[in-house]
Structure 1
């Protein structure tokens, strides 16, 4: 264990940046509970995020996401929390995270080409990008999204490039910063 470690370690970044994978490994290393906010919300709603959005709309989904984030941040457990890719961008969620005295956040950053290559073969499992048939179209979509979201992502306590690093290297880098 690390002296004076924060109660919550929060991982954020674009889809495909490895938030859940890194988070699970970090939680094991630090002997903490791992929470994926998307999974947490799905458990609360008893439906997949795709179903929630389809049945109740994106605004409802983002509001519930905010409520779930607040609920998790108000908990007493020491956790590693992986946010959804869009979570930091809505309902002042980054402000909520930044103002917490018990949280430290890490932006797992990657460039558009890296994310495009990583996500292209995963399209079928990711509703937001499932419609893209061409890598160039996906790259354009990711580029626009990153441009819109980067201001929020860059509010994280730490900004880490994840490109060409193993999960263990990223975990060790986070551990060194704690």
Structure 2
């Protein structure tokens, strides 16, 4: 596999993408970008506010634009993607072409322990476990299609997951 400059972490909400991404970036001396935080900064409002005011489709448009900007960076990045980034074929293609993509896979039990409906997560309602199960089922094949590697995170701390990623990540070859 040819090397890709960026590392992108994908997976369900609560899988640890942001925490692991920060650990990984720090350990590798790279810049970390949380895609959701970058969207909030660009738009001047929270993800929940974007969903409420403009709907999910507009949020996905913005997400696609911000992802493309990150992946066009000449600086090597570790990017923590939102859980739904894989819903658009264009995003999946860009991620596979421009980043080494790692799916942080977590069981519904793990996800349920980490997230709740009161967590500013617009896709979760009154029954977070049922919602997580439905979302995971709908996205699992998309994560598989997009990922170059899968790391199971159940029972692991963020630094342990970051270390597993470091062991399997094919580093880009430096060019001069």
Task: Give the TM-score normalised by the residue count of structure 1.
Answer: 0.88
Distance 2:159 2:6 in 1: 20
Q: Which moved more, 1:123-132 or 1:90-99?
A: 123-132
Q: Measure the CA separation in 2 of the matches of 1:143 and 1:56.
A: 25
Determine the structure 1 residue equivalent to 2:136: 146
Residue 111 (structure 1) aligns with: 107
Instruction: Spell out the pairing of 1:14-163 with structure 2 (5 A cutoff).
Output: 14-100=12-98, 103-120=99-116, 123-128=117-122, 131-132=125-126, 137-155=127-145, 156-163=147-154
Superposed CA offset, 1:40-87 (max 9, x none):
111111111111122222111100100110111011111100000111
- 1:125 and 1:138 map into 2 onto residues whose CA distance is 10
Q: Which runs of 5+ in 1 are unaligned?
A: none
User: Secondary structure at 1:10's aligned position in 2?
Assistant: strand
Q: Any gaps of 5 or more consecutive residues in structure 2? A: 170-176
Q: Secondary structure at the match of 1:105?
A: strand
Counterparts of 2:136 and 2:55, CA distance in 1: 23
Counterpart check, 1:168 vs 2:164:
no
Q: Secondary structure at the match of 1:57?
A: helix
2:16–2:104 CA contact under 8 A, matched in 1 = yes
Distance in 1 of aligned mates of 2:124 and 2:144:
27
Pairwise CA RMSD: 1.6
- Partner Cα distance (2:71, 2:47) in 1: 20
Q: 1:96, 1:149 → 2: CA distance?
A: 17
Kindly indicate whether the alpha-carbon contact (under 8 Å) linking 1:13 and 1:19 is maintained by their aligned counterparts in 2.
yes
